[in-house]
Chains A and B, each alone.
Chain A
Amino acid sequence: MLSAFLSAFRTPDLRKKLLFTVGIIAIYRLGATLPSPGVSYGNVQKCMDLMATNNAGGVFNLLNLFSGGALLSLSVFALGIMPYITASIILQLLTVVIPRLEQLRKEGQAGQAKITQYTRYLTLGLGVLQASAFVALARSGQLFNNMCDQFPIVPDGTGIPTWVTLVALVITMTAGTGVVMWLGELITDRGVGNGMSVLIFTSIMARLPSEGWQIKISQGWWKFFLVIALVLLIIFFVVFIEQAQRRIPVQYAKRMIGRRMYGGTSTYIPLKVNQAGVIPVIFGSSLLYLPALLLQFYDRNNLNGWQSWIQNNLVDPTSYIYITLYFLLIIFFTYFYVSITFNPTEVADNMKKYGGFVPGIRPGKPTAEYLDYILSRITLPGALYLGVISILPSFFFIWLDRQQYMNFPFGGTAVLIMVGVGLETVKQIESQLMQRNYEGFLR
């Protein structure tokens, strides 16, 4: 992998792409640390410290993780790439409902360009909504669970009317969303990797040093190094499993007359052990956020019976009920997601349509059944693997006796995302590298 990067840097146009990507990332990080106008940077820092010392995991932790810590400090890029992702998903969903959109999609590139344009408008719309919501939350103190009400993030009494400050904040953050969206598209077009993924990757990576240092401060060097070692081990394991696949050979019978056969070695369906990717983990953890959200409506220090039961068993990531439930949810979602995204019947039909078949198996239904058989068996280790990776952080919490690492960047979701994006990007670089290696080829 390292050698891939090194030789990529020796290829002029790839070097240009890599440097371009790094440049965009730098701009993105700059915007993520730049406070919006009207935000008291000093108070933000104080609140962060307060949160850290009080072991308080806020509801917005996951969002904060994806925005690289920009959200809680209400920086220019506070909303990050999430509105863009949300808008893309919404428009995809709308194509099912609105025939005109579906027709546009069918018109190929020109129609797709229009849909992209709509996505951009929707992103800005969502940006305004979310920016207003977070500004309101920050004003009322709920963004920090009302823990640092004595340090208002958007202080009054600056001589500027409050509404002007608030409007400026919303406009700034919305504009920031637009810029982030543009940065992402620039990476996809002119840099390496998928822009959205790379930006999320960056955000998570950006949290590593500070969170790591927190461990050092609270636990000392010994545990710090142990955590690092464990995390490296996990990453190694994740990379290993992510690459694992079962190859089902496929032959195309249309064109083999008068030509020697290649034994079907090059044509196959790769079924990954982790065919579902990171989605089941995100689904599972989102579902487990619901109880925590529910408790937001009640006074933390004065919970009644069922409320404290929820607090102790469903919100606390160190409780065994929480861990078991999380694990089971992930297994369920893995099967669910794989069954949706890999439709054996559809794949079998497609193969049949173009004259392909699995050697020894008849096309159509028998092929679909065969694929289904293999798939359901390979999904089990995949599901178990996802489950184990996701509950590992909970054991960390128990061991470190702290709750604040709920979404800390060494956790399951983050590692899965980082490794996934990392692998994808390196593969893309490798592939581009291969294409360009002919200069000076064969002396």
Chain B
Amino acid sequence: MGVMQRLKNRTQRFLQRPGTTVDLAPLQKVLPEIEALEDEFKELDDAALTERAAEATRVAEIAALGREAARRALDERPYDVQLLGVLAMLGGSVAEMATGEGKTLTAAIAAYGHVRSGNGPVHVLTVNDYLARRDAEWMEPVYKLLGLSVGWVTESSSPEERRAAYACDVTYASVSEAGFDYLRDQLVTDIDDRVQRAPATAIVDEADSILIDEARVPMVLAGAVAGEQDPVHVAAGVVRGLRSGRHYEIADDGRSVAFTTKGLEVVERKLGGIDLYDDEHVEQLSAVNVALHAHALLHRDVDYIVRNGAVELVDEMRGRVAQRRRWPDGLQAAVEAKEGLDATAEGEVLGTITVQAYIALYPTVCGMTATAVLVGEQLREYFKLEVAVIPPNTPCIRVDEADRIYATRQEKEDALVAEITLSHEKGRPVLVGTLDVKESESLAKALDEAGIPCSVLNAKNDDEEAAIIAEAGKFGAVTVSTQMAGRGVDIRLGGSDQSDRERVAELGGLYVLGGGRHHSRRVDDQLRGRAGRQGDPGASTFFVSLEDDLIQRNAPDAIPASPRMNFDGLVTDEQVDYAVEHAQRVSEGVQHEIHRNTWRYSVVIEQQRKALSERRERVLTTDVAAEMLEKREPEKAEELKELDEDLLPRVARSIALFHIDRLWAEHLAELSEVREGVHLRALGRLDPLDEFHRAAVPAFNALVPAIEERTVETFEENEFDENWTPDDNTLVRPSATWTYLVHDNPFGSELDRLIAAVGRRLSSGGNN
């Protein structure tokens, strides 16, 4: 970093300007010290090294011991830049490290450091189960040399395995698995059923993905309620034949859909001539509404896939199947009905926490990713995390070409196939990232017709992922993938054995082609990052069409009416270049706005959850419930005491816990109801967020007396003897959902509306 650059960075940081990152200079000063310790530690035998590792306190010692342990266990001596990453993460920052720079090892040494600094236990949170297990097993020898125990948790782990894993110094788990364990622990009725210890330190892998993209996703613990299956299937049948434009209209942003008058008539006739908006038909109305949503907005092979007779959601950010994620509020059942499958039981929300709130429970948070700077502002706003940009060990020499923009989707695909053919003939490996499952299959078909063999990797065959990716860098390989290839995978030139490495490198290395711009620049950058690993040669080009959803949804009016283009349909118009960038920025802005809104509304719920869980903890661990009942119902309490000394506390605790959980679930349902319509308050010049608090706070305050009342009531109404066991209020398997998001103030401020009205008048005046 030049002097000028450093000076500029410092001023910017002083002014709290965006785009500032952690100053690496102080960290770099530690490196010689680490180097100096290296020889000393090399002398030690394994046992002595482990012994020494238990005594380390200074960061230099920690880094040097980590380096030595990695050298012995993995035969890999961590580079200086990796140790810089360790130091940054020990300082509580998010380290930005390019692909292939060894983030996993860096995280392991940082985890060791955090345990040594007394911040243990450390949870390493990954994006999925596969990575959790792979990384834990891969790093185990290193941890062993450093004298730490390590464990991992996946979906199939049993409670005992989970407890054992969380008892380790370092635990690897996907963020949703860890979050679910937390939620389940919040609902135990016996203190010994807990699996987690108090949260201490989280090291977040793919930090931008988890902390920003997924932050607003609520993890939901749901219990089954007996739902009627019938209206779902009936409704699916009713909406099946409806057509867009005629029977229903889809909003420009593609997020909502509504019946037209014509469509309503058809639906009502099919349902037997009823008035859907009559009080008694509310249930049918809900059913046809979700059925329409499932019919018109959710597309097979884009939003979900059907595999083994079940609907599985596709994560829009990662292109993978989202494990155990469900749509909320009957939508899941509606999609299942649409596909002619049996609808699964409707869930009632028992407990919920957003990823963001869950991460906030950890006193210490740090992380690593290849794309952090672009979300630096948001990381600072929501998590008070700074970004440290770690330079690559060998500079990246990948060539990123300008986008090639085509007018139509067909022209884009043709050009893509031509470009692939060109490279393939030379034998240069090509990785194509497509926007969704459907596109990946259509491209594969086109390549097949052109006589080019290719491997397809998408949500449908994600179990073969590791094998396909390992060979993507082979001579002559063509791999078509959804953006799932974007993260956590490492493509080595010349295939897994790197036999052809030199030949492939001479051809220019891996060539990454994007089938379109993604929702955010970070996803694009992740895809580009597959090429040019550790100083390898490589190149990347994105092929965009003006018919892509991103542009159609976000910048339809920014495209000039007749852009300049070549004969083959390649658009060469500066205004169009701008429009594409603009569309992506709009999409990023919308995501950010939704994130911020969700967060603002979840703050109060999170506080309430904490307050109630404090109370629950007391009921669980002490005899407050029994004392309360003794005061309210002395006679009956005395009776129970005479039967068995332990009976009263046991009964009281079970009843109280049951009602706490029950009322909390009802409270959550009520709040989500309020949340959905609270934006309407803006019409009365009221602030929706303030109004939400106004509704949420009194409702919560009424919760505690209600819990007590209901506990007393249950106690009065039932008979208890020594053999009494808690009612069978078993909880079903937890499931995650995503939520509907309603814009906070879709009407805009009063001034906005005034201006819009003026604008309408101006433009209609211009037409006349």
Contacts and interface: CB of A to CB of B under 8 A. Distances in A.
A272 B558 CA distance: 38
A357 B276 CA distance: 11
Interface string B659-689: 0000000000110111011101101111101
Given A257-B227, A354-B742, 13 more contacts: A97-B762, A106-B554, A250-B680, A251-B282, A253-B289, A255-B330, A256-B286, A257-B330, A267-B673, A272-B685, A343-B753, A343-B757, A431-B689
B487 interface: no
Interface string A334-361: 0001001111001100111111110111
Given A256-B283, A259-B669, A272-B685, A93 B755 contact: yes
Nearest to B603: A435
A45 to B, nearest CB: 39
Nearest to A111: B589
B58 to A, nearest CB: 36
Interface in A85-115: 88-89, 92-93, 95-97, 99, 103, 106-111
B740 interface: yes
Give the contact-size bracket for chain A: 35 or more
B285, B346, B596: residue with the most chain A Cβ atoms closer than 10 Å: B285
B26 interface: no
Nearest to B261: A364
A271 B589 contact: no
B261 A270 contact: no
A108 B588 contact: yes
Interface string A358-383: 01111111000000000000000000
Consensus secondary structure, chain B interface: helix
Interface string B50-75: 00000000000000000000000000
Interface string B688-700: 0110011101000
Interface string B265-307: 0000000000001110011011101100100000000000000
A103 B674 contact: no
A341 B758 contact: no
Given A108-B590, A354-B742, A434-B694, A254 B747 contact: no
A431 B589 contact: no
Interface stretch (B391-399, B410-418, B503-511, B607-615): B607-615
B583 to A, nearest CB: 10
A248 to B, nearest CB: 9
A245 B589 CA distance: 34
Contacts of B608: 438
A258 interface: yes
A442 B611 contact: yes
A350 B758 contact: no
Interface of A: 88-89, 92-93, 95-97, 99, 103, 106-111, 245, 250-262, 266-272, 275, 277, 337, 340-343, 346-347, 350-357, 359-365, 427-428, 430-431, 434-435, 437-438, 441-442
B687 A106 contact: no
Interface of B: 225, 227-228, 231-232, 251, 256, 258-259, 261, 264, 277-279, 282-283, 285-287, 289-290, 293, 328-330, 333, 346, 348, 554-555, 557-558, 582, 585-586, 588-590, 592-593, 596, 603-604, 607-608, 610-611, 614-615, 669-670, 672-674, 676-678, 680-681, 683-687, 689-690, 693-695, 697, 704, 740, 742, 746-747, 750-759, 762
B752 A92 contact: yes
A340 B693 CA distance: 29
B680 A111 contact: no
18 contacts: A88-B751, A92-B751, A107-B586, A108-B585, A111-B589, A255-B330, A255-B740, A257-B232, A257-B333, A260-B669, A266-B673, A267-B677, A270-B686, A271-B683, A275-B685, A346-B747, A355-B289, A431-B690
A270 B684 contact: yes
A253 B282 contact: yes
Contacts of A108: 585-586, 588-590, 592-593
A340 B750 CA distance: 9
Contact of A255 (B555, B586, B676, B686): B676
A267 B674 contact: yes
Given A92-B752, A441-B611, A267 B680 contact: yes
Contacts of B614: 442
B656 to A, nearest CB: 13
A252 B758 CA distance: 31
Contacts of B279: 359-360
Given A252-B676, A269-B683, A427-B687, A341 B256 contact: no
B693 A258 contact: no
A353 B755 contact: no
A258 B330 contact: yes
Contact of B582 (A107, A351, A356, A438): A107
A267 B697 CA distance: 16
A118 to B, nearest CB: 15
Contact of B762 (A96, A269, A342, A355): A96
A275 B750 CA distance: 11
B256 A340 contact: no
A254 B747 CA distance: 21
A257 B695 contact: no
B683 A342 contact: yes
Contacts of B259: 363
Contacts of A359: 277, 279
B690 A427 contact: yes
B336 to A, nearest CB: 13
A95 B753 contact: no
